Amino acid sequence: MKSRSASRRLQLPISIDEFAGRLLDWYTQHKRDLPWRRQPEPYRILLSEFMLQQTQVKTVLPYYERFLRAYPTLEDLARSAESEVLSAWSGLGYYNRARNLHRTARLICEKHDGTLPRDYDQVLELPGVGRYTAGALLSIAYGEPLPILDGNIQRLLARYLKIRKDLTGSGAEPVWDLLAWMVREPLVDEHISDFNQALMEMGALVCTSKNPLCNECPLGDSCLARKEGIQEELPVRTKSRKLQSFQFASAVVPRNGRYLLMQNCESKFLRGFWEFPKVVLPIGPDLPSSQLLEQTFEETHGLKIEIAEQFAPVDHRITFRKLRFYPFRAHLREDPEDSRGFVWVDLEAKRDYPVPSFVGKIVKRIGRSDDTRRQN
């Protein structure tokens, strides 16, 4: 007879041993050869988990390798300045992850002798580490039997169990409860690192958000959504966050192969980065006159510029923010009186300043315009 708690728990259509066995066999044959799997040391797992938050593996790989070359150990990372870490992270986006990783490295060195703690509650205290990341770190790095639930696993189980409810926020608790029961079962406990990674891998490679490869799924014959042909209708999706639009005029001021940059000290998501001086524009196609823009730059930044040439806009997306930049080539009528917030940077050389990727987009746009003009 099932206990009351078992009857309330989500039920697998097959036994846990069969479910785990199929999954582990598939993982052994099909798992990707990833650098943090080849060398599953705690620091490398920590770095990979931070980078993989909201970012696909194929995007992360070159950044992961580059970051490890810059900071081969946790101690190297902890000793570095935040600006250096942001520069090494530049281009990967979601920069609060880099800040949290840096703070986490320092905290581990200060409080845990440079070793990722094995205690779940202590790991949860690390900056940027939540329920999923704590479970992933401890299960993969140390073999601790802890559940994990990311977007890939959520999608896989929503389809496999035909869950028609929204699984965001508190709606995910029944799935967490099921996974917590799974990891206590002997077969899963014994292979927890591979089991958790297999769940993620299945969601990434087979049970994809669009056009899932059901014929290649080791669990396909017992998938409840597939039996009804509704696998692509699940999971239930809530309304996405409303997109916010912003427009800026960016002053591109060159001098002897360098560009004038200023540090962003206001925007939460770009705080600490260096970019072309910019001013906010009202949303719409009509731009202020050059005279008004020059006046605005002087009032906003103390920059006395002369706008020489306007270029086509450059679009950039940061999570739910849509940014449009209207770049202008400009010249300084005189150097700023207070130069502390400005630097001249050679963007082609090794950067000592973290620069967001839209700066490179703007430079390319100007370069393409120059090339076209020369050809004509």
Q: Which domains does the chain have, with CATH numbers?
A: 4-233 (1.10.340.30), 244-375 (3.90.79.10)
What residue has token string 């035909």?
162
Quick one: pLDDT at residue 157? 98
Quick one: pLDDT at residue 84? 93
Question: pTM score, two decimals?
Answer: 0.83
Q: For the chain, list residues with pLDDT below 70.
A: 1-7, 239-240, 339, 350-351, 368-376
Quick one: pLDDT at residue 223? 98
Burial class (CB in 10 A: 0-12, 13-18, 19+), 163: buried
Residues assigned a catalytic role: 49
Query: Which tokens sit at 145?
Result: 């039997």
Quick one: pLDDT at residue 5? 52
